[in-house]
């Protein structure tokens, strides 16, 4: 599932060759050299280099595997000119990303996303989706272009699924939205027009249960992923590019910020929050209402905000009590 | 409403006599004696013993009222053999629960839940529901088998109601889901296939207001309950088997974990969380963002995480300030 | 947009002259004098005085501009008799508000709200709404009476919009509800019947992005407002009468209580909460999981609960560590 075909989800609005980037970016472009003027057929991230694609690099970075003739680099760092045969240097990488990708692709934050639906019991199901016959789909859902759903899945009512691949035996409960737009933009340039096109997908592996009123955002370029057998409670928010391993258990109202990576067999209480871009190991347990701000090693058990080892957290609570911060015995029994 | 008929919501998939349990459980069964081979017509919990039913007991427990000949006990504790005339001992009680109940009943997490709907303004309303003519139902709702709705209720748009009994004058706001699946499973055995069938309901009493985008999970066997005149704000999550008394006020984004019991006349701020299985007394006030981890006596007023008497909490905040933790006078005015 | 016509959203149920208030309130009325028996055509708040309207005043308050002959004051403070030529004194102002406004206006928490819809792709769109042709509206939405939507807006799927004016280029993501009922009632008189009629609207200005599964409540009398270019993530709750300036960025699962006022260019992390009725200045940054309990001046940067200057908050965290509250080096890496 991981090697998904972007075009299945985001049809091309325009197909161009590399040299046409100069027209799209016009005066924003500072320098350009083109090794091989291929027809751009994809975008790449550092973790998934695709043939005949463009890739956006912010910082100076020498990546050997980009030496292939069918990758064109777009960068705001002039230093990169020396590493790549085919490169455009731009003023503002974020603006260039937005301009190019809004020119190339349709997505659901741009005008007139092309799709055709069948209406089955109030559920609008794209003719360009692929849903196994064994699945059950409730009322008033919307399943868009490119979505793939494996065997024996149960999609309940008022569920929105777009830009998503579901494995087998997945349950998605009522009023949940999957494959929605990641919250990606330059903080210095706000407004709906400056949203970074989110052209990745969501992949949910076999035997996952997703509760009601959850939101799972699709990735910017690659995929947001939830591993096998994971159990997600109600009102859980999962940001773009989050990777969650197998056998996760995540209680209600927890929110996972963009690009967090979580190992296997984690247990996360309710109302937990995560800072963006951190890494959580395997077999980690995170108590309810924690705010996790740092990476966590395998087998960590943490609580509090900022989240610390749960034994230390408990000691601290006891210490606060000794210092005059006392449970009122009239109020609290257990 | 409390003596609900389970079959109205969860139709039987198979009707069996007690001795057929041996076939369902096969090698998982360690010992079995059957006093009276009745046709199983229900399941019981300790708080609601029903005729001709099965009941699941984890620990050693001698309950006189189960001596009735029409209850068959299923237990993982061999000690219980001595108390009951009709009992099966199993390896793993959770597995036995799942196997038996998935064999007996249809529910919305199993394949092909049987229901027939009328479509009225995009709302799919089960022919097996009972809705008073005085009610108003918005667009794109789904109201499933067994649901009962009393007089003068207002159900707004995109609302999902299943496995629920509503009293009179209840308002349910947009995009809310009621009667959804409780987050119940064995933490050691994760995956959508191992969800414990949730075969209870939600009961919402007269004159309750439920806000938008709330989720209220049905009970495992009995009912989740919200008492009269209760006011629930938006995005509140109420877990399975929660009991809330009359006149509750619960502000937005609060989450109540499974099996919490709350008294009458409570006032709960926004973004509060509760540990599972605790008891909150009458007339309790809980400040916003509290994390309630212990039982609370009547008339408690608490704040913080873990929640403590609000006066102690305030003292502690002042103390932290004295210790160098200071409000920046440039930043904060009030 | 701010001078909206209430009647477009909330049609009159009954049109009365001032002297008919005595019949509606009957024994609840303690004193009444009427200067000019005009036909009531609106309600006013202190910040928006409208012609031929009634206004509710709780406390003693002398407002010159109400001396106009076409405003009738309703108050629970007898002291106000001396200031106004046209006034009714009532026992309980909240009850009077409810009785009068439920008599005068239809709203979505009262019986039989009058509206007529067209069904376009499962979306029910009021014939009394005004939507620019350039907009795109997804599946299974509900757009009610009075709603105005500007140019090039994208309304995704299962969205509920009522009592709302949207500017141009606004994006509203899946399963979001806008213009829903504010959580307004007298804490001493709970129950769905005693909800204060919420007769204001939501105004969302140009180029705003609203994520999935958000709830934005309409104001009681005036409007809830979100300024230009604001970016709102998923599962954000915005209470009634909240005013948010231009260029806000608000991360997922944050909740803003009623009547909070927020300046321009604020950046708010995820899972933040705000006490009601506070004022937040311009260019404020609020860290994730903060609980903001006080006004914040321009350029504040805060964290924690209660939220304090972020440098103080960080010092305090370090201090707690020194006092024995220590990160477990085995657990946490960064």
C117 touching B (Cβ < 8 Å): yes
Task: Name chain A contacts of B305, Cβ cutoff 8 Å.
Answer: 289
Do C287 and C191 fall within a single domain? yes
Report phi then psi at C225, rounded to 5: -135, 140
Q: How far apart are CA B257 and CA B241, in angstroms?
A: 9
Do C163 and C304 lie in a common domain? yes
Per residue in A81-120, is it b (16+ CB within 10 Å) or e — as a string?
Answer: bebbbbbbbbeebbbbbbbbbbbbbbbbbbeebebebeee
Residue A116: CB partners within 8 Å, gap ≥ 6? A126, A127, A128
Active site residues of A: 240
Question: Which residues touch B233 (CB under 8 Å, ≥6 apart)?
Answer: B211, B250, B251, B252, B253, B254, B270, C183
At C263 the pLDDT is 98
User: What is the pLDDT averaged over residues A154-177?
Assistant: 98
Segment A212-228 shows an average pLDDT of: 98
**Structure-block tokens of residue A126:** 């794209």
In a domain? residue A263? yes
Pairing of strands C308-309, C301-303: antiparallel
Q: What is the CATH number of the domain that holds A134?
A: 2.160.10.10
Q: For residues A213 and A158, what is the distance between their CA atoms, to the nearest angstrom?
A: 10
Indicate whether C30 and C121 sit together in one domain: no
What is the pLDDT at residue A250? 98
B324 domain-assigned: no
For residue B326, is pLDDT > 50?
no
Residue C334 above 60 pLDDT? no
In a domain, C317, yes or no: no
Hey, what long-range contacts does A278-285 have (CB within 8 A, 24 or more apart)?
Answer: A278/C334, A282/A245, A285/A310
B110 lies in some domain: no
Contact B146, B163 (CB under 8 A): yes
CA distances from A324 to A277, A318, B291, B316 (A): 38, 10, 20, 7
- Average pLDDT of the segment spanning C146-165: 98
A216–chain B nearest CA distance, Å: 16
Residue A325 falls inside a structural domain: no
Contacts with B89 (C-beta within 8 Å, 6 or more apart), sequence order: B29, B30, B31, B32, B75, B76, B77, B78, B80, B81
Cite the DSSP H helix spans in chain A.
Answer: 6-9, 21-25, 93-104, 310-322
Domain-located, residue C271: yes
Neighbours of chain A (3+ CB pairs under 8 A): B, C
Are B23 and B50 contained in the same domain?
Answer: yes
d(CA B40, CA B111): 22
What are the tens digits of pLDDT across the range B131-146?
999 999 999 999 999 9
- Flag whether A238 is in a domain: yes
**C77-133 residue pLDDT tens:** 999 999 999 999 999 999 999 999 999 999 999 878 999 999 999 999 999 999 999
Task: Output the pLDDT for position A298.
Answer: 98
pLDDT of residue A327 exceeding 60: no
- Residue A3 pLDDT: 81
Q: Give whole-number Cα distances, A133 to A127, A153, A154, in Å.
A: 14, 10, 11
Indicate left, alpha or beta for B329 from its phi (over 0: left) and psi (-120 to 50: alpha).
alpha
The pLDDT, as a whole number, for residue C323 is 66
Two tokens, residue B7: 């079959």
CATH number at residue B10: 3.40.1390.10
Among the ranges given (A178-187, B69-78, B324-333), the one the predictor scored with the smallest mean pLDDT: B324-333
Q: Is C61 exposed, middle or buried (0-12, 13-18, 19+ CB in 10 A)?
A: middle
| pLDDT computed for residue C3 by the predictor | 81
Of B162, B82, A308, nearest in space to C320 by CA:
A308
Token pair for C216: 């934005």
Which residues, numbered 207 to 266 in chain A, qualify as contacts with chain B under a Cβ-Cβ cut-off of 8 Å?
207-209, 211-213, 228-231, 233-235, 247-249, 251-253
How many other C-beta atoms lie within 10 A of the C-beta of residue C189?
14
Closest by Cβ to B255, choosing from A171, A249, A271: A271
Contact B237 A253 (CB under 8 A): yes
Identify whether residues C13 and C154 lie together within a single domain: no
Please tell me the predicted confidence (pLDDT) of residue A330.
52
Instruction: Say what the pLDDT of residue A199 is.
Output: 98
A residues 177-216 lying closer than 8 A (beta carbon) to B = 207-209, 211-213
pLDDT score recorded for residue B324: 54
What pLDDT digit, counting tens, does each position of C282-295 carry? 999 999 999 999 99
Give the pair of three-digit tokens for residue A190: 């706000």
Identify whether residues B126 and B83 lie together within a single domain. Answer: no
**Which of A78-92, A172-186, C316-330 shows the lowest per-residue confidence on average (mean pLDDT)?**
C316-330
Q: What is the pLDDT of residues B239-264, one digit of tens each?
A: 999 999 999 999 999 999 999 999 99
Q: Which of A94, A118, A160 should one mutate to test binding to chain C, selecting the residue with the greatest count of C CBs within 10 A?
A: A160
To the nearest whole percent, how much of chain A has pLDDT over 70?
A: 96
Is A125's Cβ below 8 Å from some Cβ in B? no
The 10s digit of each residue's pLDDT in B24-34 is 999 899 999 99
The answer to whether residue A67 scores a pLDDT higher than 80 is: no
For the cut 50, the answer to whether the pLDDT of residue B153 exceeds it is yes
DSSP string over A80-110: GGGT-SSEEEES-HHHHHHHHHHHHB--TTS
| Inter-chain residue contact B255 with A247, CB threshold 8 Å | no
Q: What is the pLDDT of residue C1?
A: 65
In the predicted model, is pLDDT for residue A64 greater than 90? no
**pLDDT higher at A329 or A44:** A44
**Span B283-301, average pLDDT:** 98
> Quick one: C81 and C162 in the same domain?
no
Do A23 and A146 fall into the same domain? Answer: no
pLDDT of residue A195: 97
Rounded to whole angstroms, the Cα distance separating B274 from B256 reads 5
Within A91-168, where are the H helices?
A: 93-104
Of B104, B131, B155, the one marking the end of a domain is B104
Q: What DSSP designation does B27 have?
A: G
**11-50 of C, contacting A, C-beta below 8 A:** none
Cβ distance B213 to C213 less than 8 Å, yes or no, reads: yes
Q: Which residues of C are catalytic?
A: 240
pLDDT at A171 over 90: yes
pLDDT (0 to 100) of residue A111: 79
Q: What is the mean predicted confidence (pLDDT) over B235-242?
A: 98
At C23-55, the pLDDT tens digits run 999 989 999 999 999 999 999 999 899 999 999
Neighbours of chain B (3+ CB pairs under 8 A): A, C
Q: Does B64 touch chain C (CB under 8 A)?
A: no
Give the per-residue pLDDT at C107: 97
Is the same domain home to C243 and C306? yes
C26: alpha, beta or left, given left = phi > 0 and alpha = psi -120 to 50?
left
Q: What is the pLDDT of residue C324?
A: 54
CB-CB neighbours of C41 under 10 Å? 16
Q: What is the DSSP letter of C43?
A: E
Q: Do A332 and B215 touch (CB under 8 A)?
A: no
Residue bearing tokens 């006034």: C87
Three-state SS at B332 = strand
- pLDDT averaged over every residue in chain A: 94
CB contact at 8 A, B164 and B182: no
Instruction: State yes or no: pLDDT of A323 exceeds 70.
Output: no
How far is Cα B206 from Cα A90, in angstroms, rounded to an integer? 63
pTM of the model: 0.96
Cis peptide bond prior to A186, omega within 30° of 0: no
Please give the positions of B annotated as active site.
Answer: 240
Q: Order of strands, edge to edge, in the sheet holding A87-90?
A: A29-33, A87-90, A71-75, A53-57, A42-44
Range of the domain at C96: 6-104
Closest CA relative to residue C319, chosen from A294, B290, B321:
B321
Per-residue pLDDT, B64? 83
| B201/B100 Cα distance (integer angstroms) | 19
> Residue C199 in contact with residue C180, Cβ under 8 Å?
no
Q: For residue B166, is pLDDT > 80?
A: yes
Determine the pLDDT at residue C87. 96
Residue B102 three-state SS: helix
Within chain B, residue ranges assigned H as helices are 6-9, 21-25, 93-104, 310-322
Cα C229 to the chain's mean position, in Å? 19
Whether residues B70 and B125 share a domain: the answer is no
Taking an 8 Å cut-off on Cβ atoms, the answer to whether C171 and A160 are in contact is no
How far is it, in rounded angstroms, from Cα C172 to Cα C155?
Answer: 5
Please tell me the predicted confidence (pLDDT) of residue B334. Answer: 44
What is the band of B322 on the pLDDT scale with cuts at 50, 70, 90? confident
Looking at the fold, whether A171 and A296 belong to one and the same domain comes out as yes
Q: Do C297 and B333 touch (CB under 8 A)?
A: yes
Nearest to C237 among B140, B230, B252 (CB): B252
Which strands, in side-by-side order, build the sheet including B308-309?
A: B136-137, B154-155, B171-172, B209-210, B231-232, B249-250, B267-268, B285-286, B301-303, B308-309
Residues B179, B300 share a domain: yes
**Cβ pair A334:B308 closer than 8 A:** no
pLDDT at position C331 over 60: no
Count: domains in chain C: 2
Residue B13 has pLDDT above 80, yes or no: yes
Which uninterrupted H or E stretch holds A231? strand A231-232
Q: How far is CA A170 from CA A200, A212, A317, B109, in A?
A: 20, 13, 40, 10
| Position C326 pLDDT exceeds 50 | no
Share of chain B above pLDDT 70, in %: 96
Predicted local distance difference test score (pLDDT) of residue B323: 66
Q: What is the dihedral of CA A50, A52, A54, A60, to 10 degrees?
A: 70
Task: Judge residue C319's burial from the number of C-beta atoms within 10 Å of its C-beta, 0-12 exposed, 13-18 middle, 19 or more buried.
Answer: middle
Q: How many CA atoms lie within 13 A of C20 on its CB side?
A: 12
Query: Does residue C205 surpass a pLDDT of 60?
Result: yes
pLDDT in tens, C167-187: 999 999 999 999 999 999 999
CA distance B247 to B231: 7
Structural domain contains residue A315: no
The last residue of one of the domains, among A45, A69, A104, is A104
């Amino acid at each position: 599932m991981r090697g998904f075909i972007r075009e299945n989800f985001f049809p091309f609005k325009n197909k161009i060759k590399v040299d046409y980037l100069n027209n799209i970016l016009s005066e924003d472009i500072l320098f350009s050299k083109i090794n091989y003027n291929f027809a751009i057929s994809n975008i790449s991230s550092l973790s998934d280099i695709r043939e005949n694609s463009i890739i956006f690099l912010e910082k100076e970075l020498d990546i050997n595997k980009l030496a292939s003739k069918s990758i064109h680099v777009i960068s705001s760092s002039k230093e990169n000119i020396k590493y790549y045969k085919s490169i455009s240097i731009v003023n503002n990488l974020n603006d260039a990303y937005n301009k190019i990708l809004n020119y190339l692709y349709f997505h659901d934050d741009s005008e007139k996303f092309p799709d055709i639906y069948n209406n089955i019991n109030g559920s609008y199901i794209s003719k360009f989706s692929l849903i196994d016959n064994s699945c059950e789909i409730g009322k008033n859902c919307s399943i868009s272009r490119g979505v793939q759903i494996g065997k024996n899945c149960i999609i309940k009512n008022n569920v929105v699924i777009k830009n998503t691949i579901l494995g087998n035996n997945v349950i998605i409960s009522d009023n949940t939205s999957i494959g929605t737009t990641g919250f990606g933009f330059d903080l210095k340039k706000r407004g709906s027009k400056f949203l970074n096109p989110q052209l990745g997908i969501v992949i949910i592996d076999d035997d996952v249960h997703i509760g009601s009123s959850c939101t799972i955002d699709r990735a910017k370029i690659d995929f947001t992923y939830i591993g096998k057998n994971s159990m997600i409670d109600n009102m859980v928010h999962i940001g773009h590019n989050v990777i969650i391993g197998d056998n996760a258990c995540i209680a209600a109202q927890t929110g996972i910020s963009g690009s967090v990576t979580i190992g296997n067999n984690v247990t996360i209480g309710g109302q937990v929050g995560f800072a963006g871009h951190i890494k959580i190991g395997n077999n980690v347990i995170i108590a309810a209402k924690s705010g996790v701000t740092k990476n966590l090693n395998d087998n960590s058990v943490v609580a509090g905000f900022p989240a610390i080892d749960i034994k230390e957290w408990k000691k601290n609570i006891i210490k606060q009590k000794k210092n005059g911060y006392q449970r009122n015995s009239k109020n609290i029994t257990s």
